[in-house]
A and B are shown apart, each in its own frame.
Chain A
Amino acid sequence: MKKLLNFLRSMRFGIVLLILIAALSVVGSVIPQERAAAWYAEAYPAWHTLLLALRLNRVFKSWYFLALLSLLCLNLTLCSLLRALAVFCGPQTLVEGCARMKTLVQLTPEGLTKLEQHLQSTGCRMTDCGGARVWHKRLYGRFGSFLTHLAILLTILVGAAALYLPQVVDLDCMPGESVVLPAKNGGTARFAVSDFRVTDASGRLDYTSALTVTLPDGRSKSGEISVNHPLSFGSYKVYQQSYGTAGSVTVTNLENDGSDVFLLAELSFLSLDNVNGLWYVALYPDYIVTASGERMPVSNAGGGYPRPIYHVQLAENGEQTLRFLVPGDTVEVGTLRFTFNEPVNYPGLRIKITPTAVNALLVVGFVLMLLGLTLLFFLPPVLVRVDGEGYAVGGAKSEGTRLELKTLLKDCEREAYA
């Protein structure tokens, strides 16, 4: 049991796990992930069966990849626990431990003076420990490695939660309309878009929606969202995800003169009696006029809708008539008049529902990792024991200090016996 525990917490095991994770990541990046099985059959005809059997089409969700990550977490937990014992001793214990070291480099008296002057000038403090003087600084640096490993562990665990816990919904919302989502604990959350623009004040592309989020408890928050600027409220976060262009048709009832504007993005039938009316089929960005004077829709490689044209079918008394109409055109079917307007852009929203604590914990993990790495690489502790004979460098990350002193005192060494 002890042998197994030692193996699981060992650096060697950690290194093997890291190499395996990196190797699988290479595979996962080279083979496109999460496509349909037919795609792999076409792209890799010779070995798609093996590829699918080994789950190389979804490496990052495969049981073996998740098992490796779990083992890495176990390795990090065990080595962090072990490390905690070493780093959570007080500074005095470290100083006393260093004082108990044997002199490793013997120096001439001039060398000793030079050494202590150097240590003093570099900001080290001296503690007298029964005959030996221990010079030290930045003892907090000992937390670097521990913090880094702990933060990596936290990041993997919370990162997994951040990847798999959120509920994500993509939906389109026409300006002036709203969409509702059922909330987990009953009630509904409402997302209303009052305006949508595809350019900012200076004319640059910048997709912006004016949005109001109303939580199930009635509280609401308004704001603008754009790419990189989502709106957070409660456990909801709303992103400017995409945009589309919808047809706009004003329908007037000739009997009572009442009219309404309909924004249409998909096949729809506008009718009073479900028999006579107008089928909205599609909106095209551009058109050409044929020799016979008919309009023919064409695509627009440059993007946008420079000369939009509506593809509609008029349904009247059981007969269907295909028509291509442009903004400004009007048709009448029965008692309804359809006036075609300029198309309207609408936003595609992404609504993410995440427990608030997950994001906060992840950011804590990130901050701890950067703090740990900074301590580890830039602020390592310095511990030097000096007596009448020479000196010894203590501490876990002592290589820099050892080399620095060796370079400084190479002409003052009497005998280096270690």
Chain B
Amino acid sequence: MNALFFVVLGLYFVAVVLQFSAAAFKKEKLAGLSWPVFVAAFALHTLFLVLRGVIARRLPLSNQFEFACAFAWGIALLLIVLRVKVKAVWLSVAAMPAALLILSYAALQPREITELMPALRSAWFGIHIGSAVFAYSAFVLAGCVSLRYLRMKKQGTADELKLQQMDYLSYRLVGFGFLFLTVVILSGAIWAEQAWSAFWTWDPKETWALITWIIYAVYLHLRLRRKKDAAFLAWYLIVAIPVVLFTFAGVNTLLPGLHSYA
């Protein structure tokens, strides 16, 4: 299992190196090569998660290592979907490193398969944590789209319609992530009531999930008001990424609470 994990990590690394080399040396062929490597990495990544789930006899989402693996997988999955659905080839150069970075963080975590503690043995486990994977992945990808938006706008490599489409894509990603983050918070509340007797306890993880939710709710409203230009909103989504990452990893490390086991 460890070997497979490092093969996946290595393939993502190769894909990112090829992608950046293509951009640096203006060799389109390298970018073309990067994509199959990335897809192969994603396929093996999926296999790794499935095998880990089979061995553990549960969803592989119970600790920082497993969640980070699933988080990186979510980013890769959404990137593939966007490349297929909306031909977002331009997104790879920002999204591939994001998946690689999250998986590199996973590599630093303990990788043992442990038995689920009684509090985690619930039907809500998959819904609550699985939704978090998709929410965080969508938010990080929205930031990646914004990064590309600002870069392409500055370079003048995209026309107005393309920029509008990119701006709208980041909005759609935030909408997708926002719905899933809402599922995370609401399913977590129901689960907490069953396990700990209270829907809400202002535990640091809950609180930061709410803070993240509010940050994206503010984005959605700012966008609706149209008082801020698209570049401002793109910067907003980039600055929001550290908040998502803090909710995912920082809270568990720095702010002890009921979720400290995760």
Cross-chain contact A362 with B225 (CB below 8 angstroms)? no
Q: Count A-side interface residues using an 8 Å CB cutoff.
A: 50
Interface residues of B in 208-226 (CB under 8 A from A): 208, 210-211, 214-215, 217-218, 221-222, 224-225
Q: Are B115 and A14 in contact (CB under 8 A)?
A: no
| Neighbour of A15 across the interface among B161, B168, B197, B221, CB < 8 A | B221
Chain B residues in 8 Å Cβ range of A363:
190
- Residue in contact with A228 in the complex, picked from B118, B171, B199, B204, CB distance below 8 Å: B118
Task: Tell which of B194, B198, B199 touches A229, judged by Cβ atoms closer than 8 Å.
Answer: B194
- CB distance A19 to B199 under 8 Å? no
Q: How many angstroms between the C-alpha atoms of A407 and B169 in the bound complex?
A: 14
Known contacts A230-B197, A377-B175; A29/B208 CB under 8 A: yes
Which single member of B118, B122, B200, B210 contacts A206 (CB below 8 Å)?
A: B118
Contact A25 B211 (CB under 8 A): yes
Per the bound structure, the CA–CA distance linking A4 and B251 in Å amounts to 39
A178–B251 Cα distance when bound, in Å, is 41
Interface of A is mostly: helix
Whether A18 is near chain B, meaning CB under 8 Å from some CB there, is yes
Q: How far is the CB of B68 from chain A (nearest CB, A)?
A: 22
Known: A11-B225, A29-B208, A33-B202. A204 touches B164 (CB 8 A): no
Q: How far in angstroms is the closest Cβ of chain A from B135?
A: 12
B178 at the interface (CB under 8 A from A): yes
- B214, B221, B222: residue with the most chain A Cβ atoms closer than 10 Å: B214
* Number of chain B residues close to chain A: CB under 8 A: 46
Query: Are A366 and B186 interface neighbours, CB within 8 A?
Result: yes
- Measured in the bound complex, the distance between the Cα atoms of B162 and A253 in whole Å is 92
Contact, CB under 8 Å: A29 / B204? yes
Bound CA span A400–B86, Å: 13
Q: Is B24 part of the binding interface, using a Cβ–Cβ cutoff of 8 Å?
A: no
- The answer to whether A162 and B119 touch across the interface, beta carbons within 8 angstroms, is no
Report the minimal beta-carbon distance from B254 to chain A, rounded to whole angstroms: 9
What's the Cα separation between A378 and B171 when bound, in Å? Answer: 12
4 closest Cβ pairs, A-B complex: A377-B175, A227-B118, A22-B214, A29-B207
B interface residues with partner A (beta carbon < 8 Å): 115, 117-119, 121-122, 161, 164-165, 168, 171-172, 175-176, 178-179, 182-183, 186, 189-191, 193-200, 202, 204, 207-208, 210-211, 214-215, 217-218, 221-222, 224-225, 251, 255
Interface set of A (CB-CB < 8 Å, partner B): 11-12, 14-15, 18-19, 21-22, 25-26, 28-30, 33, 60, 159, 162-163, 168, 204-207, 226-230, 237, 239, 241, 350, 352, 359, 362-363, 366, 369-370, 373-374, 376-378, 399-400, 403, 406-407, 410
